[in-house]
Amino acid sequence: MNEIERRRTFAIVSHPDAGKTTLTEKFLLFGGQIQVAGAVKNNKIRKTATSDWMEIEKQRGISVTTSVMEFDYKDYKVNILDTPGHQDFAEDTFRTLTAVDSVIIVIDGAKGVETQTRKLMNVCRMRQTPVIVFVNKMDREGRDPFDLLDEIEQELQIKVRPLSWPINQGIHFKGVYNIYEDSLNLFTADKQKITEKITVDIHSRELEEKVGEQDAGKLRDDLELISEVYPAFELSSYRSAEVAPVFFGSALNNFGVKELLDCFVQIAPPPQDITAEERTVKVTENKFSGFIFKITANIDPNHRSCIAFCKVCSGRFQRNTPYYHVRLGKSMRFSSPTQFMAQRKSTIDEAYPGDIVGLPDNEIFKIGDTLTEGELLHYKGLPSFSPEMFKYIENADPMKAKQLSKGIEQLMNEGVAQLFVNQFNNRRIIGTVGQLQFEVIQYRLENEYNAKCRWEPANLYKACWIESDDNAELEEFKKRKFQYMAKDREGRDVFLADSGYVLQMAQQDFKHIKFHFTSEF
pLDDT of amino acid 49? 52
Q: What is the pLDDT of residue 421?
A: 92
The pLDDT of 1-5, averaged and rounded, is: 81
User: Is residue 320 over pLDDT 50?
Assistant: yes
Question: Which amino acid is located at 5 in the chain?
Answer: E
Mean pLDDT of all residues in 244-270? 85
Q: Which long-range CB contacts under 8 A does 517-521 form with residues at least 24 apart?
A: 517/385, 517/386, 517/462, 517/464, 517/465, 518/383, 518/384, 518/385, 518/386, 519/383, 519/384, 519/418, 519/465, 519/488, 519/492, 520/380, 520/382, 520/383, 520/384, 521/465, 521/467
pLDDT of residue 420: 92
Query: Do the two domains 10-64+101-267 and 274-372 of this chain adopt the same fold?
Result: yes
Closest CA to 135 of 155, 95, 162, 167: 162
Contact 295, 365 (CB under 8 A): yes
Q: 130 vs 102, 122, 238, CA distance in Å?
A: 5, 12, 6
Task: State mean pLDDT over 111-124.
Answer: 81
Ranges of beta strands (E only) in 53-130 are 67-73, 76-82, 102-108
Strand (E) or helix (H) holding 392: strand 389-395
Mean pLDDT of the 437-452 span: 85
pLDDT in tens, 137-157: 887 888 888 899 999 889 888
Average pLDDT over residues 252-262: 82
Helices and strands (H and E) in the chain: how many = 14, 31
pLDDT band at 255 (very low <50, low <70, confident <90, very high): confident
Residue 58 has pLDDT above 60, yes or no: no
Higher-pLDDT residue of 68, 11 = 11
User: Greatest CA span in the chain, whole angstroms?
Assistant: 85
Other beta carbons within 10 angstroms of residue 334's beta carbon come to: 20
pLDDT above 50 (res 449): yes
* pLDDT of 312 strictly over 50: yes
Entry pTM: 0.77
Rounded Cα gap, residues 315 and 303, in angstroms: 31
Under the banding of pLDDT at 50, 70 and 90, the label for residue 44 is very low
CATH class of segment(s) 274-372: alpha beta
Residue 474 phi, psi (nearest 5)? -65, -45
Domain boundaries defined on the chain: 10-64+101-267, 274-372, 389-516
C-alpha to C-alpha distance for 79 and 69, rounded to whole angstroms: 6
The pLDDT of residue 88 is above 60: no
pLDDT tens readout for residues 384-394: 667 778 999 99
Type of residue at 290: G
Q: Which of 122-131, 164-173, 187-196 has the lowest mean pLDDT?
A: 187-196
18 vs 251: CA distance, rounded Å: 10
For the segment 50-78, the average pLDDT, to the nearest whole number, is 64
Q: What is the per-residue pLDDT for 485?
A: 92
Written as one letter, the residue type at 187 is F
- Asked if pLDDT for residue 446 goes beyond 80, the answer is yes
Residue 44 corresponds to which amino acid? Answer: K
pLDDT at residue number 340: 67
- Asked whether residue 39 carries a pLDDT value surpassing 50, the answer given is no
CATH code matching the domain that covers 10-64+101-267, chosen among 3.50.50.60, 1.10.8.640, 3.30.420.10, 3.40.50.300 = 3.40.50.300
- Would you say residue 487 has pLDDT above 50? yes
For 4, 173, 318, 440, the CA distances from 359, given in Å and listed in that order, are: 21, 46, 12, 24
Which range among 47-56, 154-163, 234-243, 446-455 shows the weakest confidence by mean pLDDT?
A: 47-56
* φ/ψ of residue 484, rounded to 5: -110, 10
The C-alpha atoms of residue 114 and residue 216 are separated, in whole angstroms, by: 32
Range of weakest confidence among 253-257, 298-302, 438-442: 298-302
What pLDDT shows up at residue 342?
46
- 76 pLDDT higher than 80: yes
Count CA atoms closer than 13 A to 87's CA, side-chain side. 11
Asked if 242 and 158 count as a contact pair (C-beta separation under 8 A), the reply is: yes
In this structure, CATH architecture of domain 389-516: 2-Layer Sandwich (3.30)
- Do 65 and 89 touch, CB atoms closer than 8 A? yes
pLDDT bin (cut points 50, 70, 90) of residue 356 is confident
Q: Please, what is the end-to-end C-alpha distance for the chain in angstroms?
A: 36
Cα 414 to its chain centre, rounded Å, is: 14
- 216-242 pLDDT, tens digit each: 888 888 888 888 888 888 888 888 888
Give Cα 295 distance to the centre of its chain: 13
pLDDT at 301: 57
Give 237's Cβ-side CA count (13 Å radius): 12
- In Å, how far are 36, 109, 116, 135, 252 from 17, measured between CA atoms? 21, 12, 11, 13, 12
- What is the H or E stretch that residue 40 is in? none
More confident residue, 246 or 87: 246
Of 153, 152, 151, 148, nearest to 165 by C-alpha is 148
Sign, CA torsion 341/343/347/353: positive
- Computed over every residue of the chain, the mean pLDDT equals 80
Residue, of 227 and 127, whose pLDDT is higher = 227
Interatomic CA distance for residues 232 and 220, integer angstroms: 17
Is residue 327 pLDDT above 50, yes or no?
A: yes
For the four alpha carbons of 81, 86, 87 and 91, in that order, the dihedral sign comes to: negative
